[in-house]
Amino acid sequence: MDNAPLVAGAVTAEKRALRQMLRKRREAVLDREGRSGAIARALLTWEPCKEASRLLIYVGVGTEVDTALLRAEKPCAMPVVVGDELEFRLPPLVPGYRGIPEPTGEAIVPGAGDLLVVPVLGFDSEMNRLGQGKAYYDKYIARLRREHPEVLVVGLAFLLQQVDRLTTEPHDERMDAIATEAGVWEY
């Protein structure tokens, strides 16, 4: 008898519960603007970010780390969901699904000089990342690593989003680094 569906179901339930707990933690962050600024300053002083000519970066909404300072400091392309895949486009931004700002400019091809900056709901010391659960970034990162392995992936998170260990699945992609208000940690 194949137990794979049972194991996958248990992992899904574990991740669902962890997402709820981490959303509550993130909602409790005080001084989000100041902490987001500290995270941005830490990333901007990290050598790979200083060397990057462009950030492929999300637009922070709700309780996510605010990316406005980073987007003001470096040329950027932002993600939009097309079908069930992410693609990065140049500004301008317009309100999209659920009011989330989406870029309407030209689609870009990532490559040397780019740094992918991803949202994080939870992370561990092994640079495993827990996202919102749709695997958009996991699929994008997997494709990026096949086609453009020189592009690094860094997550942005508040320190309180760190957990001891994340249970991973075969499709989960690790980050190369994480930026928090305590600095940038590399894998």
* Per-residue pLDDT reduced to its tens digit, 137-173: 999 999 999 999 999 999 999 999 999 999 888 888 9
pLDDT(4) > 50: no
pLDDT, residue 136, reads 93
Q: Which fold has domain 4-186?
A: Rossmann fold (3.40.50)
Considering the chain, what is the average pLDDT of its residues? 91
> Is there a contact between 142 and 175 (Cβ–Cβ < 8 Å)?
no
Residue 55's alpha-carbon distances to 5, 6, 84, 162, in angstroms, are: 38, 39, 22, 24
The ranges assigned to domains in the chain are 4-186
What is the tens place of the pLDDT at every residue in 7-29?
Answer: 455 667 888 888 999 999 999 99
Please, are residues 76 and 91 in contact by the beta-carbon 8 Å criterion? yes
Over the stretch 62-94, which tens digit does the pLDDT of each residue have?
Answer: 999 999 999 999 999 999 999 989 999 999 999
CA angle, corner 117, sides to 111 and 123, nearest 5?
130
